[in-house]
Amino acid sequence: MTTAATETAHIPVIDLSAPGKSEQDIAKELCEAAIEHGFIYIRSSGVDVSLEAVDRAFQLSKELFGKTSAEEKERCKILKNNRGWSGIRSETLDPKNQKVPSRAFNFGEFINGKAQQVLPDTISPHEDEIHNFFQSCDALARRILYLLGIGLEVNPPDFFASAHLREKGHSGTTLRFLHYPSLQGLDISADDSIRAGAHSDYGSLTLLFRLPKQAGLQILPHSSSPWLPVPVQPHGTLSDPSPPILVNIGDLLSYWTDGLLRSTMHRVALPYSSSKEEKNPVGVPEGEGFEGDRYSIAFFCHPVGTARLERVPSEVVRRRRREVEVGDGDGEGEEGERRVVTADEHLQMRLRASYLDLYKD
C-alpha cells in the first residue's frame, strides 16, 4: 500500500539574483506571491545575507539558549520595549499546562553598533556579529520592500522602503532567536501540540531562517482551508547551499495596501490534531521531523515609528479596490475615510494584546 504524500503549502520560490530576469519581472513575481500567499521563499544565494552569517547566528542562538543561567535570564527578561527573554506567543498558550515551553530572545535596534538593552554574558561578546546580521537582514528587507513598491506601481516606488530608512528615526524592528526544546522523554498529547499559537506578524515584513529537517511551521492559506505545513527546503532547493529564507507579509503591509498583500496566519505545531474541530492531523513534510531541539531566527522589519499608515499611492491597489467595490456594491468608496495610525501606535496596540502580564498594572 502506498501512503499519500503530505500536502504542503504551495509557496513560490523566487531568486532575487536570477540571471536574465529584469527587476520588473522579479518585482511582479514577488507581488503575485505576496497577494496570493503572503509567504515567499527567497532562494539563499548568500548575496544579501551571507551563508556564514546565518550559520553563525544559529551557533550564537544555541549558546544563548544552552548556556544562559536562570539569573541572567531574569536580568534580561522582556520589558515593555519588547526586548529580552520571553515565552513565545504566551498569550495564546496556557503556560501552566504547557509541557514544552518555547523560548525567545528579542534584540531591538542597535545604535552605533551597540545594543540598547542588557545582553546575557553568553552572547554579549558577540554584539558586533549580531549587529552585522541585523543590518544585513534589514538591508534585504528594504530591498524586498522596494521591489514590492515597483510591482504595485507605487508612486514613488520607494514609498515602503523609504518609510523604513533608519536615519528617519527609531522603529520596532526586532531580531528574534527562537528555541523549541526537544520533546524527548515527554508524554506529549494532542493538547500540547501548539508550540507557538496562531498569529499574524505585526511588522511590515518578516524574514524567517530555519534549519534543515526541523518541522513545525504551518500556515492557514485561507480561512476555510486546513493548516498546511511549510517545508524548510521546498521542491527544487534541496541542493542549494542553505535553505531559502522564508519571507512573510506582516499586518502593516496588509493595512497599507487595503489587504491586497496578505498577512497570513501561521503557527508552530506538532503534527497532531490540536483541537476537536481539526479532524485531520496536519502532515509532516518529507525528510523533516521533530527530533531534538528546534531553532529558528525571525527578523521582524518595521517602519519608523512615526510612519503614517495611510493608503499607499498605488494604481494596482486602487484598481483592485474598485473591483472589490463594484463586486460588493457596499464598499466605503474610493476616498473612504479610515483612521490613520502611526506605526508606533499600531505596535503598542499589538504588544498590549500579546504581553498581558507586562501591562497588567
- Residues at the contact surface with ligand AKG, assessed by CB under 6 A: 176, 178, 196, 201, 208, 210, 216-217, 266, 268, 296, 298
CA distance 361 to 154: 43
| Identity of the residue, 163 or 249, whose beta carbon is nearer to Fe ion in the bound complex | 249
Q: How far is CA 229 from CA 89, 270, 283, in A?
A: 19, 10, 7
Shortest spacing between CB 333 and ligand AKG, in angstroms: 35
Kindly give, in sequence order, each residue whose CB lies less than 8 Å from that of residue 357, ignoring residues fewer than 6 positions away.
90
Based on CB atoms, which residue is closest to ligand AKG, 13 or 265? Answer: 265
Q: Which residues of 298-311 are buried (b: 16+ CB within 10 A; e: fewer)?
A: bbbbbbbbebebeb
By beta-carbon proximity to ligand AKG, the closer residue of 268 and 347 is 268
From the list ligand AKG, Fe ion, none, partner contacted by residue 268 (C-beta under 5 to 8 A by kind)? ligand AKG
**Nearer residue to ligand AKG within complex by CB, 35 or 104:** 104
In the complex with ligand AKG, the residue whose CB is nearer, 46 or 197, is 197
Residue 306: CB minimum distance to Fe ion, A:
25
354: Cβ–Cβ under 8 A, 6 or more apart, which residues? 89, 91
Closer to Fe ion at the Cβ: 193 or 264? 264
Contact partner, 34, from Fe ion, ligand AKG, none, Cβ < 5-8 Å per class: none
> Nearest distance from residue 295's CB to ligand AKG, in Å?
8
Picked from ligand AKG, Fe ion, none, the partner binding residue 196 (CB below 5 to 8 A depending on kind) is: ligand AKG
Q: Which secondary structure element, helix H or strand E, spans residue 297, and what is its range?
A: strand 294-301
| Of residues 264, 268, 267, the one with CA closest to residue 250 | 264
178 binds, among ligand AKG, Fe ion, none (CB under 5 to 8 A by kind): ligand AKG
**At its nearest, how many Å lie between ligand AKG and the CB of residue 294?**
7
63: left (phi over 0), alpha (psi -120 to 50) or beta: alpha
Measured CA distances, 345 to 20, 88, 170, 304 (Å): 43, 22, 13, 11
Looking from the CA of 219 toward its CB, the CA atoms found within 13 Å total: 23
Cβ of residue 88: shortest distance to ligand AKG, in angstroms?
6
DSSP string, 42-97: E---SSSS-HHHHHHHHHHHHHHHHH--HHHHHHTB--TTS-EEEESSGGGS-TTT
Pick what 296 binds: Fe ion, ligand AKG, none; C-beta below 5 to 8 Å, kind-dependent: ligand AKG
Report d(CA 227, CA 293) in Å as an integer: 23
Distance CA 336, CA 314 (A): 16
The size of the interface with Fe ion (CB under 5 A), counted in residues, is 1
Residue appearing with cell numbers 551557533: 59
Nearest CA among 328, 332, 336 for reference residue 310: 336
Q: Between residues 43 and 266, which has the closer beta carbon with respect to ligand AKG? A: 266
297: Cα within 13 Å, side-chain hemisphere = 23
- Shortest CB 19 distance to ligand AKG, Å: 31
Q: Least CB distance from residue 283 to Fe ion, whole Å?
A: 21
For residues 192 and 201, which CB has a smaller minimum distance to Fe ion in the complex? 201
Bridge partners of 185? none
Residue 201 binding Fe ion, by CB under 5 A: yes
What is the number of the residue whose Cβ is closest to ligand AKG?
A: 296
Cβ 315 to Fe ion, closest distance in Å?
30
Instruction: Provide the binding-site residues for Fe ion, judged by CB under 5 A.
Output: 201
